[in-house]
């Protein structure tokens, strides 16, 4: 067996990817899937094809995949760091920075009982799907989880008018006025469009009924752009992510973290971008992912369309390596 240092860059990358499949990617492993995926790249010029294979293999070696175990740990972090600790900190600050743990825990329990957690989107989407694992990791009873339809109650009201006639209308109000905090949980925020589409009117209605109710949008992953777009709405009290994806995670950006120190002169950012775009044009619009996010990220339950389509698309008989399950509307 060759010493690792004497292996070709192609072999080193292949060994690295196989190591991932034996550990953090193991639930995605299928014999020969890497070769099947590389077979998608089919330039007729043999020299160009070899360079394509090398550069795409390099991108694959940089792909961030979060399996079931990793996602559960992130959900625990979301509960602890983005939900519980800020409340505990506020309790301490309001009580002369007390360190009385019994007092703090009693007050936290009071705050906790007035909190409800909700998913983003309809019941079939990933934001709602995450709540099941969140509940397990945070060790919460089901009473803390509701659907968006449970926030309001709608009753039919009939009133007599001054002329003696009756007017019937529907009255909407907050169903449980003891709830003072609604926490929306999502797995990923790329462009912020999902929060705008699903939550804007709902949250505005909550705030219209009672502006003192706290409404937060907490996510596992969020791009800086997406988080900024949601904050700009001005309807949430807090918008936070466990893992913030900055500009350096954009594969071909000027500050891309992936091409700062490449292991071989044949691995080239400009060539990789040309290759990903050339094949991406057959797969998705835009060719480098939704919102031109150009990400290298996937999850146990799905791959966001903000990632490079060459990794997840099945369009035009393309064989994905981190398959995306597209939504049907």
One DSSP character per residue, 255-277 reads T-GGGSS-SSTT--HHHHHHHHH
Of 195, 215, 245, which residue is a domain's last?
245
Q: What is the mean pLDDT of residues 221-226?
A: 96
To the nearest whole percent, how much of the chain has pLDDT over 90?
Answer: 79
Residue 14 Cα to chain centre, angstroms: 28
Bridge-based pairing of strands 238-245 and 214-223 is parallel
Mark whether 90 and 219 lie in a shared domain. yes
Mark whether 33 and 121 lie in a shared domain. no
Q: What is the mean pLDDT of residues 59-70?
A: 95
Tell me whether residue 161 is in a domain: no
Our count of domains for the chain comes to 2
Q: What pLDDT sits at residue 33? A: 86
Residue written as token pair 């057959």:
282
Which pLDDT band holds residue 213 (cuts at 50, 70, 90)?
A: very high
Of 207, 229, 245, which residue is a domain's last?
245
Mark whether 75 and 92 lie in a shared domain. yes
Mark whether 92 and 219 lie in a shared domain. yes
Which pLDDT band holds residue 167 (cuts at 50, 70, 90)?
A: confident
Question: Which residue range forms the structural domain that includes residue 195?
Answer: 68-149+177-245
Are residues 151 and 174 in contact, defined by beta-carbon separation less than 8 angstroms? yes
Q: What DSSP line would sit under 83-147, residue for residue?
A: IIHHHHHHHHHHTTT---HHHHHHHHHHHHHTEEEEESSSTTSHHHHHHHHHHHHHT--GGGB--
Mark whether 48 and 93 lie in a shared domain. no
4: pLDDT strictly greater than 50: no
Which pLDDT band holds residue 318 (cuts at 50, 70, 90)?
A: very high
Q: What pLDDT sits at residue 125? A: 65
Q: What pLDDT sits at residue 287? A: 98
Q: What pLDDT sits at residue 31? A: 80
Q: What pLDDT sits at residue 28? A: 76
Of 210, 245, 280, which residue is a domain's last?
245
Q: What DSSP line would sit under 271-311, residue for residue?
A: HHHHHHHHHHTTT-SSTT-GGG--B-EEESS---TTB-HHH
Tell me whether residue 324 is in a domain: no
Contacts of 173 (CB under 8 A, 6+ apart): 152, 153, 209
For the ranges 9-13, 20-24, 151-155, 240-244, the lowest mean pLDDT is seen at: 20-24
Q: What pLDDT sits at residue 5? A: 56
Mark whether 18 and 144 lie in a shared domain. no
327: pLDDT strictly greater than 70: no
Eight-state DSSP code of residue 237? S
Average pLDDT of the residues of the chain: 92
pLDDT per residue as tens digits for the range 100-148: 999 999 999 999 999 999 998 766 566 678 899 999 999 999 999 999 9
329: pLDDT strictly greater than 70: no
């Amino acid at each position: 067996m060759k010493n690792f240092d004497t292996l070709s860059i192609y072999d080193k990358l292949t060994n690295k990817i196989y190591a991932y499949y034996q550990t953090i990617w193991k639930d995605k492993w299928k014999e020969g899937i890497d070769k099947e995926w590389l077979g998608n790249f089919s330039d007729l010029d043999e020299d160009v094809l070899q360079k394509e294979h090398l550069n795409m293999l390099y991108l694959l070696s940089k792909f961030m995949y979060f399996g079931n175990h990793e996602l559960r740990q992130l959900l625990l972090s979301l509960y602890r760091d983005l939900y519980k600790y800020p409340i505990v900190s506020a309790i301490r600050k309001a009580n002369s920075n007390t360190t009385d743990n019994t007092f703090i825990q009693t007050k936290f329990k009071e705050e906790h009982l007035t909190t409800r957690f909700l998913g983003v989107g309809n019941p079939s989407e990933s934001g709602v799907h995450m709540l099941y694992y969140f509940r397990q990791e945070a060790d919460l009873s089901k009473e803390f989880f509701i659907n968006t339809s449970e926030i309001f109650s709608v009753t039919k009201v009939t009133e007599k008018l001054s002329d003696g006639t009756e007017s019937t209308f529907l009255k909407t109000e907050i169903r449980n006025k003891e709830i003072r905090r609604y926490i929306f949980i999502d797995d990923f925020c790329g462009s912020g469009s999902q929060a705008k589409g699903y939550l804007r009117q709902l949250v505005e209605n909550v705030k219209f009924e009672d502006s003192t109710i706290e409404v937060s949008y907490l996510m596992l992953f969020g791009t800086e752009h997406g988080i900024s777009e949601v904050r700009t709405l001005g309807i949430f009290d807090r918008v936070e992510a466990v893992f913030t994806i900055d500009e350096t995670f954009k594969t071909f950006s000027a500050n891309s973290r992936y091409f700062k120190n490449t292991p071989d002169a044949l691995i080239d950012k400009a060539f990789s971008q040309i290759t990903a775009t050339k094949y991406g044009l057959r797969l998705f619009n835009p060719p480098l992912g939704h919102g031109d996010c150009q990400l290298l990220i996937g999850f146990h339950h799905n791959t966001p369309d903000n990632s490079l389509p060459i990794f997840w698309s099945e369009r035009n008989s393309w064989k994905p390596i981190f398959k995306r399950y597209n939504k049907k509307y």
